[in-house]
Amino acid sequence: MGAYSVDILAVGFFILEWTVYAVTLEHTAYGRNSLSARMNVYREVWIRRLLDRETRMVDMQIMASLQNGTAFFASTSLLAVGGGLALLRSTNEALGVLRALPVDLSPSPALWEIKCVGLILIFVYAFFKFAWAYRLFNYVAILLGAMPPAQKRDTPEAEAHVIRTTRLFEAAGRHFNRGQRAFFFALGYLGWFVSPWVLFITTAAVVIVTWRRQFASNAWRAMGS
């Protein structure tokens, strides 16, 4: 256990940082000022303005582009899972390459396989998030098709439909964001293949970069103006 104590601490730090960041972003008052939260406001604006239009082909084209982007990430997740499985099957070859480096970075075969399994699990999680987001975007497209006509935009039925569609739209975006977050943290997780100390650094770097994009980027400032 002592030989792997640093690895355990590094993985624990990685999981803790991912969890704290996700909870802060999605379930706190601080997170309600994020770029994603600001975009949720414009989701509702879009749905309400859609009520004023008789012709909604452009709106459906936008939805199709959102679905296509989500499908791309879902398929990429599957490719990444396949790559992780190939890496897992090539344990001996990979360790041989690491032993040939000037600095010996090769872990034990068991630890290497644990690292590979962890990476695979991250991409499996990302796939499920993107796949569910794709399904939700499909449901949103159906609700857009069922939107009341412009003549009934001031009715209680239209208001209820706008709220229903907006909530589903926000859920789709939330799951898509979780899938992308898994991709970002997977990049940080790769640091563990070098050293647990590198995992500390790469995890912190991912948190800083993703935090800045949500709370201090040019896009965040533009959406607040």
Categorise residue 148: left if φ over 0, alpha if ψ from -120 to 50, beta otherwise: beta
Evaluate if residue 201 carries a pLDDT over 80.
yes
Domain contains 29: yes
In a domain, 38, yes or no: yes
Per-residue confidence band for 90, with pLDDT thresholds at 50, 70 and 90? confident
- With 70 as the cut, is the pLDDT of residue 24 above it? yes
The pLDDT confidence band at residue 100, using thresholds 50, 70 and 90, is low
**Per-residue confidence at 149, pLDDT binned at 50, 70, 90?**
confident
Task: Confirm whether 59 is domain-assigned.
Answer: yes
- Write down the pLDDT at residue 135: 95
Copy the structure tokens of residue 202.
């790469």
Report if residue 225 sits inside a domain: no
Residue with tokens 């695979």: 120
For residue 165, being part of any structural domain is answered with: yes
Share of the chain above pLDDT 90, in %: 58
Task: Provide CB contacts within 8 A for 203, sequence distance 6+.
Answer: 10, 13, 14, 17, 18, 185, 188, 189, 191
Tell me if 109 sits within 8 A of 91, measured CB to CB. Answer: yes
Return the structure tokens found at 56.
């909604």
Can you list the alpha helix ranges (DSSP code H) found in 28-155? 35-50, 57-89, 91-99, 109-145
* pLDDT above 70 for 119: yes
Q: How far apart are CA 206 and CA 191, in angstroms?
A: 11
Q: 145 vs 122, which has greater pLDDT?
A: 122
Q: What is the pLDDT of residue 49?
A: 87
Out of 143-152, 167-176, 201-210, pick the least confident.
143-152
Q: Which domain holds residue 124?
A: 2-219
Residue 105 belongs to some domain of the structure: yes
Q: Locate 116 and state its tokens.
A: 């590979």
Contacts of 179 (CB under 8 A, 6+ apart): 73, 74, 77, 126, 127, 129, 130, 133
Residue 116 is assigned to a structural domain of this protein: yes
Task: Give the separation between CA 135 and CA 129, rounded to whole angstroms.
Answer: 10
pLDDT at 82 over 70: yes
Least confident interval from 19-33, 104-118, 179-193, 194-208: 104-118
Q: What is the mean pLDDT of residues 7-26?
A: 95
Whole-number pLDDT of residue 223: 86
Closest CA to 125 of 170, 77, 88, 172: 77
Number of domains making up the chain: 1
Contacts of range 198-206, beta carbons closer than 8 Å, 24 or more positions apart? 199/10, 199/11, 199/13, 199/14, 200/10, 200/13, 203/10, 203/13, 203/14, 203/17, 203/18, 204/17, 206/17
Mean pLDDT, to the nearest integer, of 109-122?
90
* Band of residue 214 on the pLDDT scale cut at 50, 70, 90: very high
Q: Diameter of the chain by CA atoms?
A: 74
* Residues 25 and 211 sit within 8 Å (Cβ to Cβ): no
In a domain, residue 224? The reply is no
**pTM: predicted TM-score of the whole model, two decimal places:** 0.90
What is the overall mean pLDDT for the chain?
89
103: pLDDT confidence band, cut at 50, 70 and 90?
low
